[in-house]
Amino acid sequence: MPVYFGTDGIRAVAGKFPLTPRAVKMLGQALGTLLAARYKPARIILGRDTRESGIWIARSLIDGLSSAGCEVISAGIITTPGVAYITRLGFSAGIVVSASHNPYTDNGIKIFSADGTKLSENDELAVEAVLYDYNHQLDDEPPTTEALSIEEDNKLVDHYIEFLAEAAQRLSLKGKRIGVDCANGAATGIAPQLLRRLGAEVYTIGCSPNGRNINAGCGSLHLEALSALVKAKQLDLGIAFDGDADRVLLVDATGSAVDGDKILLILAKYLKMQGKLQHNTVVATLMSNFGLERALAAHGLKLHRVAVGDKYVFDALRKYGFSLGGEQSGHVIIPAISPAGDGILTAICVLKALQELKTDFHAATEEMISCPQMLINVNVRHKIDFSELPRVAAALADAEQKLQGSGRVLLRYSGTEMLARVMVEGEDRSLVEQLASSLAETIRQEIG
């Protein structure tokens, strides 16, 4: 298993190992050497979100890649799925400098293969091997604030916008009043422009990035401001992205959240109507609410669960030929259109579904009655198998016994942060909250 690559690339505090100028340059050189041996010439597309650290991390990557003989073309500020799309236009690989929904102090490196899918585990192992014997004493080069040394090709973003416009064929938003929260991130210069092009009257928040305000009290992790905007302006709906726009959550006309589970339900019904829902199955993770499973079953559809992480969703889609999958967080993949989770594309597909189903959010999801679910994140010092922590194992067994088959418990570690995630779901809300809090406290006492 890779050490530094998590479920969504490398992610850390910018300026701290492995995201120091020297370490990033080494990673770029290792990746460049790998690609230069496969492609003649090796051409890499690079994009970033709006974090202030993105510039020096991109510069370090370019230095490393160029030293290995690769040609690097920068698309500038662009969404993660935007880079995944452009990579498929003839590049050897795509790289995104982004930490997705994390605060601005973090950053990350996501790498796509030539087909727009995540880099294979074997390639991740080969690239990160340069860091296994890393000498931190040489890590004294300060990050630079100078501009990038290569010109940014803004036309590449235009290619991506045209791809989204093509996916939006037959969708008319004329007369629709829509609120958009771009999380002060990469969707800022793309999503509002596209929605206006489709005829919508657009009201924006989270569209003034300054390098430090990405995801700060806005975006898909903080729907309060968008909900208030929708209600205050009496809008038809709201759309919220995270920092790199690989996920999306929605807000209906009442200001209520429409999460990834409800998005999957809407899209499943739409694809079934078109005869395009392969095997009548939707892929979701262990985090998805049991209410989604029951709602799908009412339409004769099945739910195939996988581990948490979009890479596991995509693996199941590819392995079994399914046509729709995603996460409760709003990371949705429709492989017939794109192998990458794409928040803007997902929003377009949901709006098309509602238009062609001739319905609204409430009617499209009213049969989904969510079970009470509580998620608690616990900061941890170490990621130790929960079965090797006797007190945690005992607390887990006790929780499962108290639920008596009417709920479930999921303990897992974040793939990108030093966090343990505790999820409890059941029919009795007070019991769910009690068990989740007790489990979280036990973990905190053991390894917090």
Give per-10-residue mean pLDDT for the chain (448 aa).
89 94 96 97 97 95 96 96 97 98 97 95 96 80 66 89 96 97 98 98 98 98 98 98 98 96 98 97 94 94 93 95 97 96 98 96 92 94 94 95 87 87 93 96 95
Cα dihedral 90→311→75→189 (10° resolution): 130
Which residues partner with 377 through β-bridges? 421
Measured CA to CA, the distance from residue 51 to residue 45 in angstroms comes to 18
Domain with residues 260-365, CATH architecture:
3-Layer(aba) Sandwich (3.40)
Q: Are 292 and 285 in contact (CB under 8 A)?
A: no
Q: Are 101 and 184 in contact (CB under 8 A)?
A: no
pLDDT value at position 202?
98
Cis omega (within 30 of 0) for bond into 390 = no
Do 260-365 and 373-447 share a fold? Answer: no
Identified catalytic residue from 60, 100, 113, 227: 100
pLDDT value at position 435?
96
- Cβ contacts of residue 261 below 8 Å, gap of 6+? 284, 288, 289, 291, 292, 328, 368, 370
What CATH number is given for 168-256 in this structure? 3.40.120.10
What count of other Cβ atoms lies within 10 Å of the Cβ of residue 113? 19
Residue 414 is among the residues annotated as catalytic for this protein:
no
Angle between helices 121-128 and 21-36 (to 10 degrees): 130
Q: Are 383 and 413 in contact (CB under 8 A)?
A: yes
- Cβ contacts of residue 141 below 8 Å, gap of 6+? 20, 21, 22
Amino acid at 19: L
DSSP code of residue 129? G
pLDDT value at position 144?
66
Buried b (16+ CB within 10 A) or exposed e, 201-237: ebbbbbbebeeebbbbebbbbbbebbbebbbeeebbb
The model's pTM is 0.90
CATH class of 10-155: alpha beta
pLDDT value at position 350?
98
Q: Are 349 and 276 in contact (CB under 8 A)?
A: no
pLDDT value at position 146?
64
CATH class of 373-447: alpha beta
Q: Are 101 and 243 in contact (CB under 8 A)?
A: yes
Which residue matches tokens 């343990």? 420
| Domain boundaries defined on the chain | 10-155, 168-256, 260-365, 373-447
